[in-house]
Amino acid sequence: MEISVDIRVPLRPCLAPPSGRSIVLDRVLKLYDAGACPFCARVRIVLEEKGLAYETVEIDLRNRPSWVYDLNASGKVPVLDDGFVLPESAVIMEYLEERYPEPALLPADAAARARARLAVFRFDELLGDDYYAHRRGDPNALVERLAALPAGLSLFSDIAYLPWVIRVRDRLGVELPGGLATWLEGLAPRPSIARELEVVAAL
């Protein structure tokens, strides 16, 4: 029998987004989350960049409660609930960008938006597969993938990759290529990114 504890974290105050304003919602956003999960980190960062307050329901990934499968048939997190229940981090990112368009994370130019979305779509090919192969101790090309990472296309696509880049450096002990290290240093002062750096440091 699965035994689980539903830990509800008090409403997480929004950080001031770049526009300097926060958004008042009719309904509290609820994020089913796991602090160690980089896919969840994508959503946390977007919520904070958008200035959205949200409640977190922490999920133990080693002992997933059975009711999580009612939210997402795969049992995976993140899952966002704002009255509309939505799994899958990349889809949640798109949803939040459309529902709360300011401040924008995607460029205004249609071609630039398409390039950013394509980079997210190709995440497994461009980083994810080799990241997880490295973690398993399997043959991989992680260093080469990091050197070729499409960083800087947009804040949207940067957020999609950044949780893994942080974990590569701070959890796996892999030295980042110079350009990627500079990219991360440039993003680190953003409150949403600084908070994620703190989360990873505490793991």
Catalytic residue ranges? 37
- Copy the structure tokens of residue 130: 């080799």
Alpha carbons 109 and 197: distance in angstroms, whole number: 30
184, 162 Cβ separation under 8 angstroms: yes
Could you tell me which residues come within 8 angstroms of residue 127 by beta carbon, excluding any fewer than 6 positions away?
A: 145, 146, 149, 161, 164
Tell me if residue 62 falls in helix, strand or coil: coil
- Copy the structure tokens of residue 69: 């499968």
- Copy the structure tokens of residue 90: 């990349």
Alpha carbons 200 and 2: distance in angstroms, whole number: 28
Distances in Å between the Cα of 129 and the Cα atoms of 26, 28, 50, 75 are 39, 35, 29, 21
